[in-house]
Amino acid sequence: MALASVLRGAHLARVLDKWQSTRGPGGARLPEYAALADAVRGLIRDGRISLGVRLPAERELAGALGVSRTTVTAAYRELRTSGHLASRRGAGSWSALPPGQRISTSGMWLPVDEHAVIDLGFAALAAPPQLAAAAAEALEELPRYAGGAGYHPSGLTPLREAVASRFTARGVPTRPDQIMITNGVQHAVDLLLRLTVSPGQSVLVESPTYPNMIAALRAHRTRVVTDNLGPLTGWEPETLLGSIRAGRPTLAYLIPDFHNPTGHLMPAPLREQIVAAAHRAGTDLVIDESFVDLPALGVAPLPPVASFDRHARVLTVGGMTKPYWGGLRIGWIRAPAPVIARLAAVRVTVDTAGPVLDQLVAVRLLERSDEILPSRWAQLTSQRDALVAALHRHLPAWTVPVPPGGMSLWVELDAPVSTALAHAAMAHGVRLAPGPRFGVDGTLERYVRLPFTLPATDLVEVARLLEIAAADLDRARPAPWTTPVLVT
């Protein structure tokens, strides 16, 4: 359960939008209180309202919506009856799910290689053609390191230098001693959690967010606070900054650059504001830049969050997995040098050091970044546009925002059937990651993540097959339960 935060009446009114147009079975117009209850219930199921969030007082919401308090009172009564609202006299009312509706969202799926399946459970590209040459050069260089023990807890110096220079080039002056090389971004985040958070302390994450981060937070027994992203607008500054200022979480994990799974790009003013809010609240910011090197063609880079940091509150993680290749498990942490030294001490209790050869390959690939990355941008932009066009053609009732970068679409379905759709799609040879995988409390059933990392011909076929799977749901044809795969 997320820690309680407060949803103001004006913000809920904006999110509800055209709630009075809600219709009942057969298209009949609902009474005003029932339409309001149904609209709020839908926002909770879809994850637009997190669980455990305190809703506005009846009088406040009535004023924001321009309706009578009696209407809001009756709507709240309906929500309590259906199990979507929990109230305590004198304290307020909180969003909830009825018993039995919680959905497991560990995010830990088993990898399965099935050639007949189009797998959209992961967002990752095949290796670039330059990998073979980079590996050959790294192998030639390996003897220079083979005479030593091979343990480098903070990473090889040449790779730390290369990563530091990339931060400096982006406007964040960085020394090699401010960089730790890790075995991927997930490893980087795990080390930071071990260092900065104790069981029971609060961590703020976006909703939706990266599924394996949710699993990591649960493994560390933290208390999770969620900030909901709008499917079209992304971050709501008032609520995000309010969650930091009022909730004072120990840590906030945010993905400001081509967010996974929505693809949103956080505006520069908000980046500066969250750093200031975190400093005042005593909150450390873990900024995940896994996708920062993957803008769509023509999208200009924004200043890194760390460029606004004056008080050592920003801990930046990134890596090679998304822009280069998932099989190269190279990540990094940028932090103050004393923090890197403490992380090295934590690391030796976990895995001691990373593989030397992989790090040498990473150095060679980074030297070729001006050659590799533009081709990635062109490839992903083309594949994104092909998938968007195919979805508009085959599934016009779905809402398909076009992200400015990253690797996936966050698609709003025309009904809260994401999990059922994933099961139905599997019967037609398409593996999906349904929306609840990206939420904390099993909501987000109205959304599905669709990566555009496969060839355009496959993505066009996916849209055609999803149209068939959606029709299966309309006919209420049962779909077989299948074993899911790793979500990345």
Residue with tokens 């879809």: 46
- 118-127+371-474: CATH superfamily: Aspartate Aminotransferase, domain 1 (3.90.1150.10)
Residues 6+ away with beta carbon under 8 Å from 472: 424, 427, 479
Per the CB < 8 A criterion, the answer to whether 314 and 287 are in contact is yes
Architecture of domain 131-368: 3-Layer(aba) Sandwich (3.40)
Q: Are strands 408-412 and 251-254 parallel, antiparallel or unpaired?
A: unpaired
- Asked whether the whole model's pTM tops 0.95, one would answer no
Q: Are 78 and 34 in contact (CB under 8 A)?
A: yes
Helix (H/G/I), strand (E/B), else coil: 6: strand
Task: Give pLDDT, residue 24.
Answer: 52
At 164 the pLDDT is 98
pLDDT at 360: 97
pLDDT, position 100? 55
What was the pLDDT predicted at 478?
Answer: 43
Side-chain-side CA neighbours of residue 327 (13 Å): 8
| pLDDT values of the chain reduced to their tens digit, one per residue, 488 residues | 333 477 888 888 887 877 776 555 545 577 899 989 988 988 887 667 877 888 999 999 999 999 999 999 999 999 999 889 988 877 788 888 886 554 443 333 334 444 578 999 889 999 999 999 999 999 999 999 999 988 899 999 999 999 999 999 999 999 999 999 999 999 999 999 999 999 999 999 999 999 899 889 988 999 999 999 988 889 999 999 999 999 999 999 999 999 999 999 999 999 999 999 999 999 999 999 999 999 999 999 999 999 999 999 999 999 999 999 999 999 999 999 999 999 999 998 888 889 999 999 999 999 999 999 999 999 999 999 999 999 999 999 999 999 999 999 999 999 999 999 998 999 899 999 999 999 887 689 999 999 999 999 999 999 999 999 999 887 754 444 444 455 66
**DSSP code string of 276-325:** HHHHHHT-EEEEE-TTTT-BPTTPPP---GGGG-SSS-EEEEEESTTTT-
Whether the CB-CB separation of 152 and 356 falls below 8 Å is answered with yes
3-class state of residue 365 by DSSP? helix
* Domain boundaries along the sequence of the chain: 9-95, 118-127+371-474, 131-368
User: How many Cα atoms sit within 13 Å of 167 on the Cβ side?
Assistant: 26
The count of other CB atoms within 10 Å of the CB of residue 83 is 14
CA atoms within 13 A on the CB side of 151: 6
Cα 361 vs. chain centroid, distance in angstroms? 28
Is the previous residue joined to 261 through a cis bond, with omega within 30 degrees of 0? yes
Distance CA 286, CA 343 (A): 14
Q: Compute φ and ψ for 56, nearest 5 degrees.
A: -60, 155
- How far is the C-alpha of 106 from the C-alpha of 348, rounded, in Å? 27
Closest CA to 240 of 282, 209, 203, 277: 277
R_g of the chain, CA atoms, integer Å:
23
| Architecture of the domain whose range is 9-95 | Orthogonal Bundle (1.10)
CB 294 within 8 A of CB 327: no
Q: Residue 16: its pLDDT value, please?
A: 84
Strands 331-334 and 314-319: antiparallel
Residue in 252, 144, 149, 135 with CA at minimum distance from that of residue 197: 252
User: Which has the closest alpha carbon to 406: 44, 85, 124?
Assistant: 124
pLDDT at position 332 is 98
Nearest to 363 by CA among 209, 190, 147, 141: 141
Cα 130 to Cα 266, 295, 361: the distances in Å are 31, 20, 10
What is the residue type of 477? R
Answer whether the bond into residue 208 is a cis peptide, omega within 30°: yes
